[in-house]
Amino acid sequence: MNRLALFIPLALFVGLSLVLLLGLDKDPTDLPSALVGEAFPLFNLPSLKDEQNVVTEQDFNGEVVLVNVWATWCFACRIEHPMLNKLSEQGVKIIGLNYKDQRAGALAWLAERGDPYQFNIFDAKGSLGIDLGVYGAPETYLVDADGIIRHRRVGVVDDRVWESEFRAIYEQITGTEQ
Amino acid sequence: MRLAILLLLSLFTFAASTEGIESTEVIESPEAKKGAEVVAFSDESLRPRYHQLLQELRCPKCQNQNLADSNSPISQDLRREIRRMLEEQMTDKQIKDYLKSRYSEFILYRPEVNKNTWLLWGSPVLVVLLGLLILLRHNRKPKPIAGGEISTAIGGAGTASKEAPTKSSDQQRLAELLGDKENQQ
């Protein structure tokens, strides 16, 4: 018994090492989302292209969409943009949430890089951003036909992320093979 | 005496832990005043609650800063939201719940006690209990010895008389064994 007790420090050390080792693989910026499984928050905001035109969550109700949070000040959004164009060509419906941005600059961005969005929500003050728990751009939400958020990605969506995180859920809720 | 030491030790542990909390707050508060904008409240009684909330809520973008310390755009927005909610007479709990429902529990620097955090909250108590347990065990062990033969044997006069016979009998046996061997050789 006493001899076994001598191994307690070693066991503690090994245990702690394992815990810390597992922690190394975790991305500390990857926060748990409070909104997956919840309804997309209600909003009432102007569209990017037409200041007079007010858009709400009703505008994509009943459809499976990606809601992509972007801004011209967001460098990673530049990297992500071609992927959004590609997804849009494949028939994925994407709603843009232009987050805390300048209208003119955002429109120029779309003219220059292509417009993969069905429409853009112009959220100058970030109010919908707060309701979504956005803490950086880009962020992408997969919303099902019932308006429920099914997945959230903070950071760039590229081929790898689409394949590993989105594709299966997307195909399941649309009932299609992409 | 031992009990007194135990009590002192445990008191010290508690004192150290509370002291730790206080010192971090002292470090944070001047920065908090520096980071926060000049804000106007309709009712000055909201101000202390505002600063308290900024201390306890975490910036979701910058991770290791609270809302008071951080000057990132998201923190500015959240500070504005908190001011708005305070002006709307929402309670601290309502404000925290509002943010928690959006940014998850991550945003609370003082996490709630639930099934994920009971170990975190309970660990100081567990460590103190473990320490007490070890101390008690440690102290109990020498006790039977203290009252028994060896301790009196160490300094006492009885030692010689008690050990002498054993010693001499051992030596006798040794001599016999050696003697036998010598005889055999």
- CA distance to partner chain A, nearest, from residue B138 (Å): 14
**B102:A132 CB<8 A:** yes
Give contacts of B106 with chain A, Cβ < 8 Å: 31-32
pLDDT tens per residue across span B65-92? 888 888 888 888 899 889 999 998 889 9
Give a yes or no: residue A12 inside a domain.
no
> Residue B54: what residue type?
L
Please tell me the pTM assigned to this model: 0.67
- Radius of gyration, CA atoms only, chain A: 21
- Chain B residue numbers touching A1 (CB-CB < 8 A): none
**Binding-face residues of B in 100-129 toward A, CB within 8 A:** 100-106
> Which tops the pLDDT comparison, B23 or A55?
A55
Among B91, B86, B61, residue whose Cα is nearest residue B76:
B61
CB pairs under 8 A between A and B: 40
CB A97 within 8 A of CB A130: no
Interface test with A, best of B85, B99, B103 (most A CBs within 10 A): B103
Q: Which two tokens stand for residue A2?
A: 């006493």
- Per the domain annotation, does A9 fall within a domain? no
Q: What is the CATH number of the domain that holds A56?
A: 3.40.30.10
Q: Is residue A66 part of a domain?
A: yes
What is the mean pLDDT of the segment spanning B6-12? Answer: 55
Which residue numbers in chain A have pLDDT < 70? 1, 28-30, 32, 177-178
pLDDT at residue number B20: 41
For chain B, the average pLDDT equals 73
Mutate to test the interface with B, among A69, A123, A130, A132 (most CBs of B within 10 A): A130
Amino acid identity at A5: A
CB-CB under 8 Å, B73 with A100: yes
Q: Give A139's strand partners.
A: A69, A154
ipTM of the complex: 0.74
- How many distinct structural domains can be found in chain A? 1
The per-residue pLDDT for B151 is 46
Q: What is the structure's pLDDT at B45?
A: 85
Q: How far apart are CA B135 and CA B13, in angstroms?
A: 14
| Chain B residues near residue A125 by CB distance under 8 angstroms | 77
Q: Residue A21: inside a domain, yes or no?
A: no
The 10s digit of each residue's pLDDT in A84-108 is 999 999 999 999 999 999 999 999 9
Q: What are B113-125's pLDDT values in tens digits?
A: 888 888 889 999 9
CB atoms within 10 A of CB B35: 19
Q: What angle do CA A74, A33, B24 make, to 5 degrees?
A: 85
Q: Find the Cα–Cα–Cα–Cα dihedral B148, B153, B155, B161, rounded to 10°.
A: 140
Domain that holds residue A136: 28-174
pLDDT score, position B176: 84
Segment B132-158, tens digit of pLDDT: 999 999 887 665 554 445 544 454 444
